[in-house]
């Protein structure tokens, strides 16, 4: 959840074991083929995350109408979307450059595994916990985990939508997981309070009830640990600086190209004037 569609990409390094060639076209073709193979290998893992996008829309609609999500969390996606749009227009406008790959952070295989763990801990297990709470009639479990699941669903949808739009620059894209993660940490703290303080077991509880009780507690702790590490060890120190570095590098390249074009145009005008004078 560090930016599922924004922060994960296969490495595009050429295969060092292949035979070198002096033909530039052949070399480019080999590198392109290697990139396609790497993207296909990664697509099986990360592409499966996009399959759930339509289901997430259904979950969001159900959660919104269920009355289980507090008003503040219902309003937060609208506020975040409006804020991101304002940033994309006023603070960090896109340079109008379309890229073959929208990813900001070129993740390794280990990083992709880290993202899959986050998807399991943050999305699939909480969803199983909520559905299990419905089946068991445990309204307390459903109400405590639903706000986190609602915000995470909106985060994934937002990431998937803006990853294909050139309207949003890298800093704006990077702020999506950052904003949602900060908000969800506060939501997870409320979840922790519900399952560790407000919820108690009866003295004669059965084993399945005890297992369910500790599953909810452990899941809340796991989410707090994962997303805290994700925020303070990846999003802030690595992901966000990489996005700004890419953005300002692209801006400098565009400014340098514009300056060069103006210089070339001035030289051409001067040469044309000299020819007329002759």
Identify whether 1 is part of a domain.
no
Would 230 be classed as within a structural domain? yes
Predicted confidence at residue 276, as pLDDT, reads 64
Neighbours of 131 (CB within 10 A): 11
User: Residues of the chain with pLDDT > 70: what percent?
Assistant: 72
Give the range of the structural domain holding residue 177, as residue numbers without chain letter: 35-272
176 or 59: which leads in pLDDT: 176
pLDDT for the residue 108: 79
pLDDT one-digit tens code per residue, 155-169? 988 988 887 777 888
User: pTM for the full model?
Assistant: 0.77
Q: With respect to residue 121, please indicate whether it lies within any of the assigned structural domains.
A: yes
Within 13 Å, how many C-alpha atoms sit on residue 102's CB side? 20
> What is the predicted pLDDT for the residue at 223?
97
The answer to whether residue 46 is domain-embedded is yes
Give the CA distances from residue 1 to residues 12, 90, 150, in Å, rounded to whole numbers and listed in that order: 22, 27, 14
Q: Which of 135, 144, 139, 277 is nearest to 223 (CA)?
A: 144
Using the CB atoms, write b or e for 140-157: b if 16+ within 10 Å: ebbbbbbbbbbbbbbbbb
Helix ranges, 10-124 (H)? 24-51, 53-66, 71-86, 109-119
Tokens of 11: 């490495």
Residue 8 lies in a domain: no
**Residues in the chain, total:** 278
Q: Is 21 within a domain?
A: no
In a domain, 104, yes or no: yes
Instruction: Count how many domains the chain has.
Output: 1
């Amino acid at each position: 959840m560090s930016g599922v569609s924004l922060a994960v990409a296969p490495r595009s390094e050429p295969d060092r074991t292949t035979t070198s060639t002096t033909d530039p076209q052949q070399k480019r073709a080999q590198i392109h083929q290697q990139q396609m193979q790497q993207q296909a290998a990664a697509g099986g893992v990360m592409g499966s995350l996009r399959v759930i996008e339509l289901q997430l829309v259904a979950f969001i609609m159900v959660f919104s109408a269920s009355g289980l999500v507090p008003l503040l969390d219902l309003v937060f996606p609208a506020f975040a979307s409006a804020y991101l749009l304002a940033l994309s227009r006023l603070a960090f406008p896109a340079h109008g450059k379309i890229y073959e790959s929208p990813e900001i952070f070129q993740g390794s295989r280990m990083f992709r595994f880290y993202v899959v763990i986050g998807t399991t801990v943050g999305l699939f297990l909480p969803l199983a916990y909520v559905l299990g709470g419905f089946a068991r009639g445990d309204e307390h479990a459903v109400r405590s985990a639903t706000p986190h699941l609602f915000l995470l669903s909106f985060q994934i949808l937002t990431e998937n939508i803006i990853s294909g739009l050139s309207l949003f620059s890298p800093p704006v894209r990077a702020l999506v997981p950052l904003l949602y993660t900060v908000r969800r940490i506060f939501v997870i703290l409320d979840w922790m309070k519900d399952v560790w303080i407000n919820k108690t077991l009866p003295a004669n509880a059965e084993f399945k009830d005890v297992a369910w009780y500790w599953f909810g507690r452990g899941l809340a702790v796991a989410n707090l640990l994962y997303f805290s590490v994700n925020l303070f060890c990846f999003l802030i120190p690595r992901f966000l600086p990489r996005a700004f570095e890419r953005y300002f590098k692209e801006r400098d390249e565009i400014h340098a190209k514009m300056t060069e074009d103006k210089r070339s145009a001035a030289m051409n005008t001067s040469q044309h004037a000299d020819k007329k004078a002759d």
